[in-house]
Amino acid sequence: MSNLKISRLVAYAMFTVVCACSGPSVRIDDNFHKNKNLAKDSTVILPLAQPDGKEVAAIIISESNLPGFHSATDSSVNMVQSANVGVICAQHAESIASTVDNSSLRDAHTPFVPWPDVAVPITGMKRYFVIDFENDVFTNTDLYFTNGTQLTLIHPVFQHLKLAGGLPGLGKSSLNHYGMKLRQNLYTSIDPEATAIDRHDRPFAGILYVSFFKISTRADLKLRWQSEVIIGTVGSGSLAHTVQQSLHQKEPVGWDFQIKNDILLNYNMQLEKGIVASRQFEAIAQGGLMAGTYATNGSVAFQFRFGKFRPYFNDLSFAAQGIASERNATDWQYWVFINPGARFVLYDVTLNGGVFNRNSPHTFGFADTKHLVGNIETGFVVAYKGIGLQSSLTAISPEFKRGMSHKWGAFKLFFNF
């Protein structure tokens, strides 16, 4: 019997054992064992779901990657939890760390990942904490969008909140992550110390909001849908004046004329589709919509990245490496990226003022707002296991008539725990 046939038999036998352990929520894809892409040297990762929502993966390793592997009955040693290389069923599984030849896995090609048809979406069990800091001091300017700070927590517990768990996703067979963000943005005119309003300059504005989001991914389709609900405030309640005052030697008196307090309620979504994927290069198309009292716009963008990285749609891009390589060089990821895009703007609270409170001393009307705004972001990422750093530079075209183009720098720290 050929090695390819053995691999297919192993796949089917393993699914049978996993289904016995996991219960009726797992259903076998009838076409999987017929798939011609399952080559002799393949390392195949099969994400499954259990009734309690726990994420489980079954790994199939061909004979070339696992010395002494000859029969379907031996395949049970390769069933492990995707999170911590634990054991699914003690009577059928052993620790993969003492069995798998990690060096062979490290040198293998990017795994072919078939996506079994599961009865319920899968909730990602990994946790992430991300810190974003953006400021135009990195480009030696101090105007327009001048500072942004964001804290992000991704945790499976958020699936139980209706504001996150109730958001739309990609349905069955999707891998879903849930989280919360806290963000503050500061916007100023060209001269923060000006004592009078310049009607041709950008209004002062501060934004503070909390958001709940869902990231839904289908690796088999190279598709990701991110949706988000924002609740916050514009105006003095954002504490933007206090933050900038602490950063300036001179008093930024222009905050006396900032956009007045108002409520921010927004729904945002973004759809990403993989176009090109190889071991060192990926191209991804993105389309987004924002609707509400914070911003209403539509956007298109592309993401190009070059380097050494996990496939974009196999997990979140800053995730730690999976169970196939816990102790080898594939724990390192690094890449450079360039993301050009544009958005069509109908409304922006930081330019046009609040929807409910129309008493701001200075705003721009619809006719004075630039409705097509281009942007480009470029930078690099370096990550080891679940810890990483991103540095980037963003430039945008003018957002209002008589306005100028603008740019700023940013740093992002992310932790997978």
User: pTM above 0.75?
Assistant: no
Residue 73, judged by CB atoms within 10 A of its CB (0-12, 13-18, 19+), counts as exposed
Q: What is the pLDDT of residues 297-323, one digit of tens each?
A: 999 999 999 999 989 998 776 655 443
Amino acid 99: pLDDT: 38
Domain assignments of the chain as residue spans, ordered by start: 3-107, 126-416
Q: What is the pLDDT of residues 342-388, one digit of tens each?
A: 999 999 999 999 999 999 999 999 999 999 999 999 999 999 988 99
Q: Would you say residue 66 has pLDDT above 80? A: no
Which of 229, 233, 255 shows the shortest CA–CA distance to 242? 255
Report whether CATH 3.40.718.10 matches the domain 126-416: no
